[in-house]
Structure 1
Amino acid sequence: MKNLSLPGPRGLAFDCVSKTLDSGLDAQAILDSALSSNDLARRDRGFITEVLYGYLRMRIRLQHVLGCFLSRPEGLPAPVLQVLGIASYEILHMDVPAYASVDWGVDSVKRLTRGKLGGLANAVLRKVARLAEDGVDIEFFRRNLHNEMKALSAYYACPQWIVELWIDSYGRETAIQYLEAQICPPAAGFAIDTSNDAGQDAAAALLLEKEFIASDGEAFAFHSGVRPAALEGLPDKVLFRQSYAARVALSILEPSSWPTPVWDACSGRGGKSRYLMHNDIKPVLASDPHLGRLTALKNEFPSISAFRGSAINPPIAAGTVGTALLDVPCSGLGVLSRRPDTKFKRSFEDTESLVLLQSKILDNGWKTVRKGGFLAYITCTLNPAENHGQIANFLKKNKDARLKKEWTTSPDSQLKEFFYSALLEKI
């Protein structure tokens, strides 16, 4: 089928969904590109964002719902299924009049198929609208799938292998908490430079207003969609987005007690290095395979030694750093609420290869730490083999390593993101 553009904000949301699923690119990068290249009202920008992320979070559930009303969904072109899925998401999960979603879905399918499948789209979406009046609960999927694991996978819109992994690893009750969290929007996290007068005033105002979920005085977590007026107008060098759950995973390891220099070996865009510098922990070395990610950090903190380098083959001499900070590549199963496209990019086999990669990074990172120094290990996943199991295996192999602290986000966290962190001492 020839790809055709669809008009309006829904059309842009459809384009973002298609590019995310077809190209394998990161959903946020695709969204940023779409929003920056189109002159859109704030309301439309919010709508497109909600449709993209909401659809990706609920895609597996929506596919099963549509499968109840389509005899051969696999025979339909992918763009048609995506339009039906987006329209169904609006009908089932957004405060949008059902007729508007049905009309858009039918018109879009007609446009994509030159009128051939408009009748089918109309019939299916009207059935979805009737279903929405009764609600879609877990019992709906149990009746239609006759298999508990498949029903849980469909209802919680999560690949069955992840459902089974979590139930086997954490027990059913905790697994259900994780499953419920990953279909919800995550908390919006912001960090403020309170050494700046405007930043200090904004933080003080936010603490007085008490609209936040959590705060440490400089960083704040808000329910999705909340952006207090105190944040408006703050420049980028004072205010930046940062997952509050990720910040906790780092701060819980008490960086102020770390021997220096600290080598941030998987620095990405420098959020962890920025945290260290704002807390007067220095000197800091920051490396990443993609030097472009470090540009803003280098501009903000010229004193940071930021350079291109891989944690797999450290460009650091043995025994020269006080603390190696390893925020390692992982399967990302703890942040599916923020990165729902991960559900379609990862497989169980990926986790096995990542465990091997993490082990290599740990082994090589450990060599750079001097005696009496620390190694901090952080992941954003829910997989024991990458977390507790990884550290347990490392401790068995390295008799000069001692576990000082081990932590993971609570399953009932309102942040809807889950991290693991551990601190090891070289004795």
Structure 2
Amino acid sequence: MDTTDQLCAAALTHLEALIGFDTTSRDSNLRLIEYVEAFLAGHGVTSRRVANAEGTKANLYATIGPAVAGGVVLSGHTDVVPVDGQAWSSDPFVLTRRGERLYGRGTCDMKGFLALALASVPGFARGTSARPIHLAFSYDEEVGCIGAPSMIEKLVTELPAPLAVIVGEPTSMEVVSGHKGISTWRVTVTGHEAHSSLTHLGLSANMIAVGLMERLRQIGEDLARHGDPDSPYHPPHATLTIGLINGGTAVNILARECTFSFDLRTPPGQDPDTIIVPFLDACATAHRTAQAQFADAGVSVIRRSATPSFAPERDGAAEVLARRLAGDNGPTRAAAYAAEAGQFQRAGFSTIICGPGSIEQAHQADEFIDLAQIERGAAFMRRLGETLG
């Protein structure tokens, strides 16, 4: 296996290339996938795509080393969040070093980890490792973790059972043992337009929506009151927030349509489907009432995503391995954000989250990763290679 310094240098080369691909979730990630495919092929590694229905995006997975059980999956997402409206000090899609920081969209979330995974490939490919490294790179994690499930299905049926899955979300190279689940919904309220002075001749979608959003607010407050004070999650309770609202065309017109989207984040043990029942009941009542007045009015609710929570595995294989590789003897940690770890865990894989960079730098202008985090990640990969060898 290469030295830590060699792995670090190789990772920086890959990171520069990966940042150069604008893989904002609304766009294709295929140029990045092609880059990874070509790199792997150059080291004699065959990879496979799992594309979306339109063929515009793809997951990619590959095995380096023998096709035997007991390997380790290095998992990360290729997409990034938008830079729209953010005041960047440098081009977000050009890796820029200032002092000991590397700036660019995705440096910490989470192309830094992808770069480290790729940097480890040559050492594994030319070595005589007893157990394999599997790469699993996904699309559309940032919009609800909707890309990974189709790839995970393939991993379940095609890979010899791995020892562990390491999801490289930014954790400052500390082991994170759990995360909340996230479910997202989009609500469309259809009213009936009329002059705003003639409320008896129409039906305002905005006014109906306000009542429904108030029901969500009540549910959110109730969740906060009943949080577990001993929970490792911060905040310790499930959270419900309305993130998008759009309705109406003019101040003097009863709104024909109002849409709003919300997310519900739940710790392990709390069922989002149960929590949301009172809101869905309110929507059904509002729909019947609206339809009784105007046939074209009503309320529809569409679930956009459902990412399962990730529960700590006490003394699980993935946690034991990751803590040893990271030199981490700290407390059990849990994240408020959602990630693909819960999807891997639900599929039966022992899973952990550990990767370079801090989540505090993600999703904002001038996203960066400290060079020291790349160095720590390279040491982690070197130890992984020694362990599997």
Q: Same fold (TM over 0.5)?
A: no
**The structure with more helix, counted as a fraction of residues:** 1
TM-score normalised by the chain length of structure 1: 0.22
Considering Cα pairs closer than 8 Å and 6+ residues apart, tell me whether 1 or 2 has the greater RCO: 2
